[in-house]
Amino acid sequence: YETVLYCSLVVDGVTKTDNMGTTRLAAVVDGELRGMAVMREEHGVPYLEMRIKAAWPGEEAEIECYDPDTHQRFIIENLQLNGETYGTLSDLKRYRCKSRNYGGK
């Protein structure tokens, strides 16, 4: 089962234009990384796409900001993995976090 997110991430009021650097968007199930957002662009509009694998329908993933330098995490949302698509290219799912919540920069 694969759930897909089309989203944007705003960190400290600034929209991320990539999923690199000190703040990344990831999906974790029971401590296991199941998805990492990838930067895409369509018609000049940047967005993040994340494909999350589930072992069974209804499994729950934590969508989180992650700092790979400090290994600190901040959970943004708990999401049921039912093979659905969240967000569209014209209506991105929006996530926000502040680096002081998880130690990122």
How long is the chain? 105
- 104 pLDDT tier (thresholds 50, 70, 90): very low
94: β partners: 8
Residues 6+ apart with CB under 8 A from 24: 36, 37, 65, 66, 67, 68
For range 76-83, the mean pLDDT: 93
Q: Which of 23, 85, 16 is nearest to 50 (CA)?
A: 85
The model's pTM: 0.83
Distance CA 32, CA 60 (A): 12
| SS3 assignment, position 95 | strand
Report which of residues 43 and 16 the model is more confident about.
43
